[in-house]
Amino acid sequence: MSVFINFKICDNAQECSGVAVCPTEALSWDESKKSVIIDNTKCISCGRCVMECPAGAIRVAHNAIEERVIAKDYENDPRTIKDLMVERYGASPVNETTLISIQEAEEAIKKEFPLIIIEVIDSDDTPCLINSVPITEIFGFEDYEYYKVVNGDELYDSFAKRNNIKVCPSLLVFKNGVILARKEGSVENGNYIERAEFIKDMKEALKK
């Protein structure tokens, strides 16, 4: 039984949530090395660190075959930590200026140009990066403005009713105040068909 960290996408911080929840100290912070370290002699494969890591950078192997699979996956992973530090659908905002009030969103929606993309997130939830999609992967670098609003805003109920929002997260694409496309709910990690269809639908909306 072994725990693995993909340091390509791990910020390797002392505040590592995986370290915080590990009941056996299989994961710990080494002050001299300034790094999270692994002691697999202590790992009991409880999976708490896996569930707690917001970047999906921790995995647990239960046998030698799984160990080889994980090692190969990490070796072939092209991502870096910079890839995670971008705005993503289904995740908390990276840039504080992305988060606006419902009132500000209402004003933005009225703009004639460019496209306005509004994501509604749950104020009581911190979505995992595993089930998120970079906004640039969805919309490329077209001319648009992208914002996030929270469902805890006092004006949210009326906003949700007008725009028929039932689930968080939700992604709405507006042009001249009219919704061109929408997506409700997270994109499940590993569901590549759903992810591809979602991105295709949104790209089509940009052509309208």
**Average pLDDT in the 84-91 region?**
82
Of the candidates 175, 182, 55, the one whose C-alpha atom is nearest the C-alpha of residue 120 is 182
By mean pLDDT, which of 15-29, 77-91, 150-164 is the weakest? 77-91
Compare 201 and 170 and report the one with higher pLDDT: 170
CATH numeric code, 2-83: 3.30.70.20
In the predicted model, is pLDDT for residue 191 greater than 60? yes
In the predicted model, is pLDDT for residue 19 greater than 80? yes
| Separation of first and last alpha carbons in the chain | 52
> What pLDDT is attached to residue 15?
85
In the predicted model, is pLDDT for residue 161 greater than 80? yes
The rounded mean pLDDT for the chain is 87
* Residues 192-201 pLDDT 10s: 778 888 888 8
Please check whether the domain covering 88-206 is classified as CATH 3.40.30.10.
Answer: yes
In the predicted model, is pLDDT for residue 80 greater than 60? yes
**Average pLDDT in the 56-64 region?**
91
Domain boundaries, the chain: 2-83, 88-206
> What pLDDT is attached to residue 68?
94
